[in-house]
Amino acid sequence: MLSETETKLLGVMMMVIMLGMGASLTFKDFAIALRKPLGIIIGMVCQYGLMPLLAFLLATALALPPAYAIGLILMGCMPGGTTSNIFAYFSKGTLSLSILMTMSSTLLAIVMVPLTLGFYSSGIEGNWLIPRENVIQILFVLLVPTVIGIALRKWNSNVGAMVEMLGGLLGVLVILFLVVSWVPRNWQLLLDTGFPVYAASVGLGLCGFVLGYGLSRLLRQDSRRSRTIALETGIQNGPLAVLIVLLSFQGSQQQEVLLIPVLYSLFIVISSSFVTMWFRKLTTREEMARDQAKIGALAKA
Amino acid sequence: MHPTPGDTLDALNNPYDLRPWLGQYGKHIAVELPAPTHASLPQMMVAAAHRYADQTAFTTVMPNGMYGSLSYRQVNEKSDEFARYLRQVLGLHAGDRVAIQMPNCLSYPVVLLGVLKAGCVAVNTNPLYTATEMAHQFKDSGAKVVVVVDMFADKLQEALPKTDVKHVVITKVPEFFPALVGGVVHAVMKHWSNLVPKHSVQATSLPEALAKGRAAAKSGGPAVADWWQPLKHDTLALLQYTGGTTGVAKGAMLTHGNLLWNVAQMRAMCASHLEDGREVVLTALPLYHIFAFTVNFLCMFEAGARNVLVPSPRPIQNLQRAIENYKITWITGVNTLYNALLGEEWFSAFPPKHLKAAGGGGASMHGAVVERFEAMTGAPLVEGYGLTESSPVVCFQPLNVPRQKESIGIPAPMTDVRLIDDAGALVAVGQPGELIVRGPQLMQGYWQRPEATAEVMKDGWLHTGDVAVMDEKGTFKIVDRKKDMILVSGFNVYPNEIEEALSRHEGVLEAAVIGVPDGKTGEAVRAYVVKRDEALTAEALQAHCRALLTGYKLPARIEFRDELPKTAVGKILRRELRTAVLSAGAASHNTSNKG
């Protein structure tokens, strides 16, 4: 369980992260993206179509108890995480697409999260439900810094770019903060936790990568864009889920629901790092092949 | 008196001296220009700095939109400090050479103006040079001081022992940025992008140099103006190296007068579209290149414009934030830059709204690119022609009258142009001949190379090596470089014409054409093409060419490439393609001999 102060601190950090995300884009970037919306549409289908369904299926298949099930479904319904942009950068993905997907899913969250969350958690016992008003309220509060971020960028691009960097940095720090403040205090809980919970926490991200990539390839996106969409789909906004849980539950109930979002946030950093290294290698190999073709053409000449 | 080319012909047969192009000058372009009233570049620039003191003179924009700016007053003050550093701290004398080697950044105007105020000669140096090229240029020019950007200090270290350089000043791309922003940009460049190599060059940082200059001012000494007031029109201002791709680079000697004249000529050509104190010019071409140096830097400084500097236009996306965040009214570029912009969605979706005009030069513009750019932005894209040896502007398309597109336009005021054949006789209107030029913007010669100078400067005329034709209205059109001409079965084929035809195909991004040895036809046309559309085939392109070109001009072979070799400003290097073919040919020849 996190203390009152820690919860408040997390809230403030989330606001800065959202401010940074807002500052990473201009209105023109949006307008341009909407001219060729297929990539974004695929991304949103992955984000709010595939992921919540995947979370629901995993919860059912692993027969998770209600506390864990609601945590997993909440995780699945979250918008894209801001750390995905950092991973997209390192994996030599299409950075602009990654940023746009995160931003679009965050803006859509205010409608889509209550909708998907309500739908997939309708079978869960009443006292484990997350009140819809809570979710909307939190998302709305986070929308404000996002819009301020966009405005900052427009007002002064130096301030905008600095805020963007600060937000990106905090995105990583928050996860570290969660791990450092939560894991040692819940060591026993981690030892007692059974396989299904771990499988769900790790599996949500991994299956997200696979499904995101598969759907993009099916819809004829090139391999580099597909890898970007894959990372974007698998990486959810973990800290946001944690914040929603903290503000919706109390005491031991809170601690139980919190387990999967925290484990997910922890493991997604690890699995994303591996996937990123792999994707980077693939992209580099493709680039090398193109170079090789050039050298071949020269030799032929 | 020496006979000048064409003197053997009478005036009726000399269509050039009648200056038929004056009919196209219209009411905006002055036919006669008075000699520039300013005695030197510093005098001109100090006057502008007083006139526009509080306006922004330069803004450097990084790819992520981070920026730093200097006002006219700041440029003036900091360049005074740098002049003092050179004269009082380093003890340089009037006429000493100072090499400047940096991409577009705020340090450039401060250092350049500082060098000129000190009465020294600036040596513009391409920062992408190899250590060998650097060593040659510094040794040849006798530079005593080098001001280099930290990104290339490691190569300088390699070159230094082979030169007479005594002092090195190091600057960085985000110099003069707000402290926090500059720190972040520098940290990212150094630790993230690995663009700042380690080096052990004994150097002073630019801020330190300026601080020493300020300290020197307090301890007395002459006024900075005492160093630049003696400068006159015939004082050497700049050594601008050229010809690096054809062999050993030579320094064109440009005086204060040459450059002041070219500024006046260029301003006269642009008068209808240039509002003093109101323009915002995008400088994506490097300032160390003569085109951006004179047009973007000197002209626009005198016009009180705000100069938006982009350190590197590659990838072309680096220009996005600069174009989005500032109300750009003028752009200068080369064909490859405009072509790249047209391919960017952010540019085609939101072309600059305030654009008044765009200028192209450096290499010939393709008609298709000009048409698409003008349709997209609604502003004229006028093409000009010039050489390092002529400061550089010789011709430009006029902005204010219906103009002959796909030409280099008409000679600038006070400039004479003639076309001559191999024997030195004038050619008739409509006939191709080598372009020769005379005017106050011509260099004094190549630095310490009288033979090379004598080869191109004959009786006051600069022989350009470019083949052109003139129509009855005095509009000139470059046919090609004399030495790039391809001889197919005795017919002259000019690569530009074939490249232009290829570029007209929708699926072609860019093309380069060269001549290769051929057993049957002597030389054969070969095309290298970068696709815009992956589905493009050589057969489809051949069919396209057959509709536009006669038989002997058709490419015998078309090869697809991912990119074409280019110079620092984006001119396609046909020579490099040809060298690759010739050496591969020689290699296969050797192999077959052995076999």
Q: State residue B249's pLDDT score.
A: 85
Q: Rounded to an integer, what distance in angstroms lies between the CA atom of residue B23 and that of residue B19?
A: 8
**B584 contacts A298? CB cut-off 8 A:** yes
**A28 contacts B178? CB cut-off 8 A:** no
Cis status of the peptide bond prior to A114, with omega within 30 of 0: no
Q: State residue A50's pLDDT score.
A: 94
Interface check for A166 against chain B (CB to CB < 8 A): the answer is no
**A299 contacts B65? CB cut-off 8 A:** no
DSSP output for B175-235: TTS-HHHHHHHHHIIIIIS--S-------EEHHHHHHHHHHHHHT----THHHHTT--TTS
**A158 contacts B181? CB cut-off 8 A:** yes
Task: Please list every residue in chain A whose beta carbon sits closer than 8 Å to the beta carbon of residue B562.
Answer: 290, 293-294
**A165 contacts B580? CB cut-off 8 A:** no
DSSP one-letter code for A49: I
Residue B593 pLDDT class (50, 70, 90 cuts)? very low
**A157 contacts B66? CB cut-off 8 A:** yes
Interface check for B289 against chain A (CB to CB < 8 A): the answer is no
In the numeric block, the tokens 């003890």 are attached to: B91
> How are strands ordered across the β-sheet holding B250-255?
B204-205, B167-171, B145-149, B97-101, B121-124, B236-242, B250-255
**A157 contacts B562? CB cut-off 8 A:** no
Task: Please list every residue in chain B whose beta carbon sits closer than 8 Å to the beta carbon of residue A294.
Answer: 561-563
Interface check for A161 against chain B (CB to CB < 8 A): the answer is yes
Task: Please list every residue in chain B whose beta carbon sits closer than 8 Å to the beta carbon of residue A32.
Answer: 345-346, 349-350
pLDDT tens sequence across A73-86: 999 999 998 888 88
* Chain B residue closest in CA terms to A30: B346
A272 to chain B, closest Cα gap in Å: 20
Residue B379 reports pLDDT greater than 50: yes
Q: Are B367 and A57 in contact (CB under 8 A)?
A: no
Interface check for B580 against chain A (CB to CB < 8 A): the answer is yes
Task: Please list every residue in chain B whose beta carbon sits closer than 8 Å to the beta carbon of residue A27.
Answer: none
A296 to chain B, closest Cα gap in Å: 10
**In sequence order, what E strands does B73-126 have?**
97-101, 121-124
**B345 contacts A36? CB cut-off 8 A:** yes
How many A×B Cβ pairs under 8 Å?
54
Q: Rounded to an integer, what distance in angstroms lies between the CA atom of residue B118 and that of residue B96?
A: 9
A227 to chain B, closest Cα gap in Å: 21
* Chain B residue closest in CA terms to A161: B66
Q: Are B31 and B25 in contact (CB under 8 A)?
A: yes
**B67 contacts A158? CB cut-off 8 A:** yes
The percent of residues in chain B predicted with pLDDT above 90, rounded, is 70
Q: Where are the domains of chain B?
A: 72-231, 485-594
Per-residue burial over B440-457, b if 16 or more Cβ lie within 10 Å, else e, is bbbbbbbbeeeebbeebb
Find, among B309, B330, B363, the residue nearest to B174 by Cα. B309
Interface check for A153 against chain B (CB to CB < 8 A): the answer is yes
Interface check for B579 against chain A (CB to CB < 8 A): the answer is no
Nearest-CB residue to B349 (from A26, A32, A298): A32
Contacts 24+ apart (CB under 8 A), B215-223: B216/B84, B216/B85, B216/B88, B216/B89, B217/B80, B217/B81, B217/B84, B221/B84, B221/B87, B221/B88
Q: Are B324 and B350 in contact (CB under 8 A)?
A: yes
Q: At B509, phi and psi to the nearest 5?
A: -85, -50
Tell me how many degrees the CA angle B130-B286-B580 measures, rounded to the nearest 5. 45
Q: State residue B291's pLDDT score.
A: 94
Cβ partners under 8 Å of residue A116, min gap 6: A48, A52, A76, A77
**A162 contacts B184? CB cut-off 8 A:** yes
Nearest-CB residue to B325 (from A31, A32, A157): A157
| The pair of three-digit structure tokens given for residue A254, joined into one six-digit string | 């809170």
Q: How many CB atoms lie within 10 A of CB B486?
A: 24
pLDDT tens sequence across B175-218: 999 999 999 999 988 887 788 999 999 999 999 999 999 999 99
Q: Which of A157, A163, A288 to mutate to test the interface with B (most CBs of B within 10 A)?
A: A157
Q: Which of B188, B324, B560, B588 to mutate to test the interface with A (most CBs of A within 10 A)?
A: B324
Interface check for B187 against chain A (CB to CB < 8 A): the answer is no
Q: Rounded to an integer, what distance in angstroms lies between the CA atom of residue B168 and that of residue B102?
A: 13
Q: Which of A24, A28, A32, A100 to mutate to test the interface with B (most CBs of B within 10 A)?
A: A32
CATH number of the structural domain A4-295: 1.20.1530.20
Q: State residue B496's pLDDT score.
A: 83
Topology of B485-594 in CATH? GMP Synthetase; Chain A, domain 3 (3.30.300)
Task: Please list every residue in chain B whose beta carbon sits closer than 8 Å to the beta carbon of residue A26.
Answer: 324
In the numeric block, the tokens 């009082």 are attached to: B88
Interface check for B271 against chain A (CB to CB < 8 A): the answer is no
Find, among A128, A73, A69, A67, the residue nearest to A255 by Cα. A67
pLDDT tens sequence across B340-358: 899 888 899 999 999 999 9
Count CA within 13 A, CB hemisphere, residue B269. 31
Tell me how many degrees the CA angle A74-A78-A84 measures, rounded to the nearest 5. 135
Q: What pTM did the predictor assign?
A: 0.83
pLDDT tens sequence across B554-581: 999 999 998 888 877 677 888 888 888 8
**A161 contacts B66? CB cut-off 8 A:** yes
B181 to chain A, closest Cα gap in Å: 7
**A31 contacts B580? CB cut-off 8 A:** no
Interface check for A28 against chain B (CB to CB < 8 A): the answer is yes
Interface check for A26 against chain B (CB to CB < 8 A): the answer is yes
Residue B527 reports pLDDT greater than 80: yes
Q: Are B365 and B412 in contact (CB under 8 A)?
A: no
Find, among B301, B390, B249, the residue nearest to B38 by Cα. B301
Topology of B72-231 in CATH? Rossmann fold (3.40.50)
Q: State residue A134's pLDDT score.
A: 86
Span B26-34, mean pLDDT?
A: 91
**A290 contacts B350? CB cut-off 8 A:** no
* Chain B residue closest in CA terms to A154: B325
Interface check for A162 against chain B (CB to CB < 8 A): the answer is yes
Q: What does pLDDT average to over chain B?
A: 90
Task: Please list every residue in chain A whose beta carbon sits closer than 8 Å to the beta carbon of residue B349.
Answer: 28, 31-32, 35
Please give chain A's pLDDT, 301 residues, in tens.
567 787 888 888 888 888 988 888 788 887 887 777 888 899 899 999 999 999 999 999 999 999 999 999 999 999 998 888 888 888 888 877 888 888 889 889 999 999 999 999 988 877 888 888 889 988 888 889 988 998 999 899 999 999 988 888 888 788 787 778 777 888 888 888 889 999 999 999 999 999 999 999 998 888 888 999 999 999 999 889 999 998 899 888 888 898 899 899 889 988 998 999 999 888 888 877 765 654 444 443 3
Nearest-CB residue to B561 (from A32, A157, A297): A297
Interface check for B321 against chain A (CB to CB < 8 A): the answer is yes
ipTM: 0.76
Task: Please list every residue in chain A whose beta carbon sits closer than 8 Å to the beta carbon of residue B324.
Answer: 26, 28
